[in-house]
C-alpha cells in the first residue's frame, strides 16, 4: 500500500454486526412458510452479503420469479418483525469511535436494504459516525463495484486512499473490481481460505486490531525509503 488511508468502508452484516444466525433463521422460516425446497443453514449463510434479490436467486435458481418475490417478502416480514437488534461484534463500537476520532472518514457498503440499515444504525446509535452509506436496494449488489465507486465519488476520495473491510468474498471481489485495497475479517461468514483467494491486504481475527494495522501501514508509507503516492 503506497498511500495514506483517508476512507474506511465497512460491510455491515458479519463485519460490524453479529447477525448471520438470525438472517439464516428468518430465511429458514420464510422458506418453510412457502413450502419451498429445503436449504441447509450453510447454503443460506453463504449468500449473506449479496443483495436480497440476488441472494434469493442464487439460493433458488430453479424457482419462478413469483416464488422468489414471495420469499423476499416473507423474509422481510420476519426480519423487520424481530423484537431486538442483533449485537455488534465485540469491540466494534469502540473501534469505530477511535477511527472516527482519529480523523478517518467512515462509510458502509452493505447488501442490506435501506430500511434494514437505517433500523440498525438508529438502534446502535452509530449513524453519526458514517459519512456515507450505500445499500443493495438503491444501487447494484455486490460484487458489482458500483456502490463502492458511488461512495468514493460522493466523498471525493481516490481508491488508493481507501480500504474496504468485509467478511465475505463478495466484499473483497467488489473491492478488487473498484481498485480499492481490501481487508478481510475472519470471524464472519466466509473463512480464511475463501477470503485469501481475493488477495486482501490483511485478514484480521478481530476488528479491534484494525487501528494498529492502519498505524503500521502509515508508518511504512512514511519511511524515507518508501515512495508515497499523492
**For 44-93, what is each residue's pLDDT tens digit?**
999 999 989 999 999 999 999 999 999 999 999 998 888 788 999 999 99
Q: Which of 4, 13, 33, 144 is catalytic?
A: 13
**What's the pLDDT score for residue 82?**
82
Q: Which of 2, 4, 11, 67 is catalytic?
A: 11
β-pairing, 7-10 with 132-135?
A: unpaired
Cell of 124: 446502535
CATH topology of domain 7-18+89-222: Rossmann fold (3.40.50)
Whole-Å CA distances, 87 to 12, 106, 151, 200, 223: 12, 20, 26, 26, 40
**Is 4 annotated in the active site?**
no
Q: Which residues pair with 183 in a beta bridge?
A: 165, 202
Residue 61 has phi, psi (to 5 degrees) of: -65, -20
Domain ranges for the chain: 7-18+89-222, 20-81
Please state which of the four CATH numbers 3.30.1600, 3.30.2010, 1.20.120, 1.10.150 is assigned to the domain occupying 20-81.
Answer: 1.10.150
Does this model's pTM top 0.85? My answer is yes
Number of other CB atoms surrounding residue 10 within 10 Å: 27
Collapsing DSSP to helix, strand or coil, 61 comes out as coil
Q: What is the pLDDT of residues 154-197, one digit of tens each?
A: 999 999 999 999 999 999 999 999 999 999 999 999 999 999 99
**Is 13 annotated in the active site?**
yes
Collapsing DSSP to helix, strand or coil, 91 comes out as coil
Amino acid at each position: 500500500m503506497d498511500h495514506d488511508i483517508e476512507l474506511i468502508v465497512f460491510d455491515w452484516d458479519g463485519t460490524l454486526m453479529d447477525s448471520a444466525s438470525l438472517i439464516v433463521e428468518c430465511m429458514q422460516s420464510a422458506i418453510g412458510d412457502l413450502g419451498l425446497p429445503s436449504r441447509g443453514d450453510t447454503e443460506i449463510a453463504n449468500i449473506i452479503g449479496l443483495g436480497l434479490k440476488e441472494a434469493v436467486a442464487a439460493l433458488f435458481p430453479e424457482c419462478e420469479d413469483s416464488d422468489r418475490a414471495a420469499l423476499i417478502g416473507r423474509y422481510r416480514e420476519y426480519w423487520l418483525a424481530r423484537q431486538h437488534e442483533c449485537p455488534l461484534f465485540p469491540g466494534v463500537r469502540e473501534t469505530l469511535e477511535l477511527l472516527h476520532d482519529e480523523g478517518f472518514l467512515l462509510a458502509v457498503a452493505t447488501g442490506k436494504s435501506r430500511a434494514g440499515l437505517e433500523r440498525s444504525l438508529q438502534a446502535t446509535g452509530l449513524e453519526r459516525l458514517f459519512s456515507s452509506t450505500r445499500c443493495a436496494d438503491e444501487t447494484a449488489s455486490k460484487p458489482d463495484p458500483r456502490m463502492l465507486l458511488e461512495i468514493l465519488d460522493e466523498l471525493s476520495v481516490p481508491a488508493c486512499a481507501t480500504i474496504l473491510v468485509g467478511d465475505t468474498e463478495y466484499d473483497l471481489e467488489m473491492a478488487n473490481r473498484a481498485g480499492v485495497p481490501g481487508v478481510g475479517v475472519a470471524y464472519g461468514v466466509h473463512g480464511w481460505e475463501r477470503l485469501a483467494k481475493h488477495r486482501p491486504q490483511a485478514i484480521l481475527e478481530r476488528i479491534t486490531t484494525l487501528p494498529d494495522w492502519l498505524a503500521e501501514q502509515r508508518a511504512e508509507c512514511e519511511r524515507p525509503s518508501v515512495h508515497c503516492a499523492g
